[in-house]
């Protein structure tokens, strides 16, 4: 068993003071006095707290885990776990979630594989859905936290891999077919309807479909005057609007768009160089996005008919 924490460090209490009874009760005046960005509205139908987090976990285990490998990459299926905000705010722990998955699977450590073999599945000795989910919860999430713990500059542009910095620098002067300010990006005012829908979901719900978040980041790289400016815009959008923003895990997702935890890809392209390329056109062909677009709008700036430009 893990050792129990006797008391919170004093620094934690100074930085994050306990909520007052009025704040816990949701008194408007008490909430208005909090030092937060009040221009960011509360997310409807998403309740915080440990009880809400456990309820979400129970529902996912009951109805979502078995379908997770097939549904998580299709926006219309809403196949994600939805647990990231509760992890971010400490209302659920990764240990608690792993224990719940293991109990559902009737799992014990004796079922662990003897070799990882570099595969994302097959090591835990669990069902396909559980293995796919734990790849996200344990492998990718812990990778981001370990990087943040060991690199004081983890959120700086210079912390990208050497190969990514080199190829992005080589193509920093390439012509960008579209350039958007942070304000236009924030308002989802681009020529790309799928990207606009992604940004609308982020602002409306404080979350974005996992696969589409990768596309969202790649497009901002293409539409920014420099890679460093793209990173700054992505961090601002994510940290301001995402419920799991300001977190090493969501930060990992942003940096992945610029090459972290990835490798060079060919062919070499304008702007991207050998950083992995994604386009809305290819994504729309690969995924079922019709219902997603209907739900989140996504009309291109200037009216309909822009389609999915490469």
Q: Is the pLDDT of residue 303 over 90?
A: no
Residues 141 and 164 in one domain: no
Q: What is the distance of C-alpha 232 from the center of its chain?
A: 16
Residues 275 and 173 in one domain: yes
Mean per-residue pLDDT, 213-223: 98
Of 132, 150, 168, the position where a domain reaches its end is 150
Q: Which structural domain range is residue 128 located in?
A: 43-150
The pair of three-digit structure tokens given for residue 207, joined into one six-digit string: 């979350």
Of 150, 174, 196, the position where a domain reaches its end is 150
From the CB of residue 306, how many other CB atoms can be counted at a distance below 10 Å?
16
* Backbone region of residue 82 per phi and psi (left: phi > 0; alpha: psi in -120 to 50; beta: other values): left
Task: Examine residue 26 and state whether it is found in any structural domain, yes or no.
Answer: no
Residues 145 and 219 in one domain: no
Residues 134 and 48 in one domain: yes
Residues 138 and 161 in one domain: no
Q: Is the pLDDT of residue 308 over 70?
A: no
Residue 94 φ then ψ, to 5°? -60, -35
Mean per-residue pLDDT, 237-246: 98
Residue 293 has a pLDDT of 94
DSSP symbol at 60? I
Residues 143 and 184 in one domain: no
Residues 141 and 172 in one domain: no
Residues 264 and 145 in one domain: no
Residue 8 has a pLDDT of 85
Confidence of residue 288 (pLDDT cuts 50, 70, 90): confident
Q: How far apart are CA 240 and CA 254, in angstroms?
A: 14
The pair of three-digit structure tokens given for residue 79, joined into one six-digit string: 């196949």
Residues 173 and 189 in one domain: yes
Q: Let me know: does 177 contact 272? Beta carbons within 8 Å.
A: no
Exposed/middle/buried for residue 237 (C-beta within 10 Å: 0-12, 13-18, 19+)? buried
Domains identified in the chain, total number: 2
Residue 117 has a pLDDT of 66
Of 116, 150, 184, the position where a domain reaches its end is 150
The pair of three-digit structure tokens given for residue 295, joined into one six-digit string: 């739900």
Residues 227 and 119 in one domain: no
Range with the lowest mean pLDDT among 107-116, 195-204, 206-215, 281-290?
107-116
Residues 112 and 211 in one domain: no
Mean per-residue pLDDT, 245-261: 97
Residues 210 and 289 in one domain: yes
Mean pLDDT, the chain, whole residue set = 93
């Amino acid at each position: 068993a893990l050792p129990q924490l006797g008391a919170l460090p004093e620094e934690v209490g100074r930085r994050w003071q306990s909520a007052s009874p009025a704040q816990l009760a949701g008194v408007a005046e008490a909430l208005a006095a909090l030092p937060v960005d009040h221009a960011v509205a509360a997310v409807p139908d998403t309740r915080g707290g440990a009880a809400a987090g456990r309820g979400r976990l129970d529902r996912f285990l009951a109805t979502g885990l078995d379908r997770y490998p097939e549904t998580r990459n299709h926006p219309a299926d809403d196949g994600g776990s939805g647990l990231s905000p509760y992890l971010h705010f400490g209302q659920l722990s990764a240990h608690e979630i792993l224990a719940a998955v293991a109990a559902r699977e009737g799992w014990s450590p004796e079922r662990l594989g003897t070799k990882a073999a570099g595969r994302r599945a097959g090591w835990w000795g669990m069902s396909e859905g559980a293995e796919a989910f734990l790849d996200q919860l344990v492998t990718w999430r812990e990778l981001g936290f370990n990087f943040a713990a060991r690199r004081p500059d983890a959120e700086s542009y210079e912390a990208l891999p050497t190969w990514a910095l080199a190829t992005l620098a080589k193509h920093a002067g390439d012509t960008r077919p579209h350039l958007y300010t942070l304000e236009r990006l924030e308002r989802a005012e681009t020529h790309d309807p799928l990207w606009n829908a992604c940004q609308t979901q982020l602002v409306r719900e404080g979350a974005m479909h996992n696969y589409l978040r990768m596309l969202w980041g790649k497009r901002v790289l293409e539409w920014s005057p420099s890679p460093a400016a793209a990173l700054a815009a992505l961090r601002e959008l994510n940290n301001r609007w995402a419920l799991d923003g300001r977190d090493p895990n969501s930060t990992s997702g942003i940096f992945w768009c610029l090459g972290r935890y990835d490798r060079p890809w060919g062919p070499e392209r304008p702007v991207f160089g050998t950083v992995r390329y994604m386009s809305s056109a290819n994504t729309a062909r690969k995924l079922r996005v019709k219902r997603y677009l209907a739900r989140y709008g996504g009309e291109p700036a200037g009216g309909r008919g822009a389609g999915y430009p490469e």
